[in-house]
Structure 1
């Protein structure tokens, strides 16, 4: 289990694994952007496909959008298999069931090494909406070998077969589609969570969230860890709008003497996620929770460390979009050495790049600020009402 910070660490590891691939590569991502360093991953996929490696990529229809004709043609000529999860059209706006997105970031090469985290195929110094960034995004992934690799591979194959079945149906190949769906069902039993034991003091799990049998597993993993905490909870999360249970768990932890520290997004990125998070801060600050805002660049981390041994790295934010609608994947690790590495990096980010929120200053924020927060929260609640979800 190796912690990787940012695309500057992840992309070279991905490219090295892909260049060594002999049989197959599976890749899933929310955003695939070939600007800057993202092109290095794209080129590695093309090289692998050209030498006969079965290369399969799934991207989200909203996060990635349409590829440029040049890259689309290069992928096709090389033989890279490309699928889009929930392509964007008018149904996305009209049908709440189409609001579900593929937000997980996974890769498996030759069933030997896997990658899981929150990092898209997107250059750390480039943002599709804001352009060039002065500092890299703050985000993490893990490189994994061992039993979790097979679990990750199965998880990705199940989604691929589902997308293939949908594609076959659209092409009126009903018999082939039914065969694909039946194969997916028979192989997906028990394919939602796996525990892998390494050394005597190490365990790890791939924890998924989907809209079928794994609707709340990531949230429950957080709740169990927070409830068991005795000394310290550190959470870094990009879009932090926890529901009632998560808020109460953090409040109770702080009230029983656990030091709770949150490193959250301090830089405006999206209206709803930025402003809807602020009303939650009051209850947490009142309970003694320390909140730090990160502003040198966009904070996209979805990680946590509890009591110096439990840690999680993945794609899931602690907001209703991730916990109620999106497909997400987190690795949960119980290992002191791994947790210490992540903890040290988070504490350094809080100390050097975080601004601690002052409860008095928060309480005196302007009417305009409060109005924007109320509007964002109202929009989020209306969206939840339309989907029929409770949070």
Structure 2
């Protein structure tokens, strides 16, 4: 179940791949019964190969290992990589794969963008970090800045249920574990999903409520920032009330167009006192925020039309002063040492000729999810990924999982 505050949890912030990968791989190596893993991207680099190795080790010990990857984000995973997993009993599923057209991936919208790992029903990981070497500092100047959390306690049962709900139609047997509800700490946490069924606006509404009730400070660090008008309005209103509102956005973008859209909104926010920094050390891929001294969130959801209106997302919302303060100190240091601040005067120069463009672009992007909704909707069905050639099984529509997926996997040049 999502949308319920759970007391009695423990949480640890993990910054970048340097902290995330060793921890999640260590936990998988210690798994006894079950590993469930969802991710947007697995690449066949040093991170993807280590993930493969720890999953195979777990399967050889008799652990049930089930993973789901996105058919767009993980379109380039090779047959041999998948075959090595499935030979040892790892169950690999793909969310909505489609063949390329003229060398381009075509299944652009309604992606499986969640990043969740649940181990033995006792601990879990949630965040924005994929399984690729570009989340490590030694990748170079395009290494991503990102965040995840490790949790234990009753919230793990919600994450276990959430992941099984996606996977269940493709699994022949039920989960062998009963997820824990035992308290392990004092942190209050809520899981919120975003899907295209009953939870279309849950994450967005939690942001709006927190911003509306903000009294002292708001800090948002988000990779792809082009939120709904409701979120923009509450950010601006909070600044007008005297709340210190700080945005940390991409200054060294991995996708230039995304930064361009974000900058269209700067004048609207700056003129009412919102402080905007651009992080310039490396591409920002994080999706974190905090309000006042207790409320925080970490997850997979960007504040853009894809995440807020199309993709499958999962965020944890946290009520804990220590975690909030830890995240605030980190983001404050990030802004002070590695960001440039935008000033209103800079943006106002020559703004008159850009105003009509800003208006048109904002309203097009704001209405984009509705436009995309005119496209044929994905039916919900998840099936195993079979690396061996052969006829594709006939897909069976299912009302639970959001996609038509086919056993297909092929190796092509990566596009990132």
**TM-score, normalising length: structure 2:** 0.78
The answer to whether structure 1 residue 27 and structure 2 residue 34 are counterparts is no
The partner residue of 2:98 within 88, 91, 108 is 88
**Residue 54 of structure 2: SS of its match in structure 1?**
helix
> What's the counterpart of residue 141 of structure 1?
148
> What's the counterpart of residue 8 of structure 1?
18
Aligned pairs for 1:41-120 (under 5 A) are: 41-89=51-99, 99-120=109-130
Distance in 2 separating the partners of 1:97 and 1:87: 7
> What's the counterpart of residue 187 of structure 1?
none
Deviation of 1:379 after TM superposition, in Å, equals 6.4
Deviation of 1:228 after TM superposition, in Å, equals 1.1
Deviations 1:324-361 (A, max 9, x none): 00111111110011111111110010000111011111
> What's the counterpart of residue 159 of structure 2?
152
Deviation of 1:297 after TM superposition, in Å, equals 0.9
**Residue 99 of structure 1: SS of its match in structure 2?**
coil
CA contact (8 A) 1:197 1:204 kept: no
> What's the counterpart of residue 264 of structure 1?
249
- Give the helix-richer structure, 1 or 2: 1
The answer to whether structure 1 residue 17 and structure 2 residue 27 are counterparts is yes
Provide structure 1 residue ranges, at least 5 long, that are not aligned to the other structure: 166-175, 185-194
**Residue 46 of structure 2: SS of its match in structure 1?**
coil
RMSD value over aligned CA atoms?
A: 3.0
Aligned pairs for 1:360-379 (under 5 A) are: 360-364=345-349, 377=362
Deviations 1:80-127 (A, max 9, x none): 111111113479xxxx99721110100001111100011111224579
The partner residue of 1:323 within 305, 308, 316 is 308
Instruction: Select the structure with the greater relative contact order (CA < 8 A; seq sep ≥ 6).
Output: 2
Seen in structure 2, the aligned counterparts of structure 1 residues 228 and 125 have a Cα distance that, compared at 3 Å, is: closer
**Residue 304 of structure 1: SS of its match in structure 2?**
strand
**TM-score, normalising length: structure 1:** 0.83
Provide structure 2 residue ranges, at least 5 long, that are not aligned to the other structure: 1-10, 176-180, 375-416
Which shows bigger deviation, 58-67 or 81-90? 81-90
Deviation of 1:158 after TM superposition, in Å, equals 0.8
CA contact (8 A) 1:272 1:379 kept: no
How many residues are paired up? 355
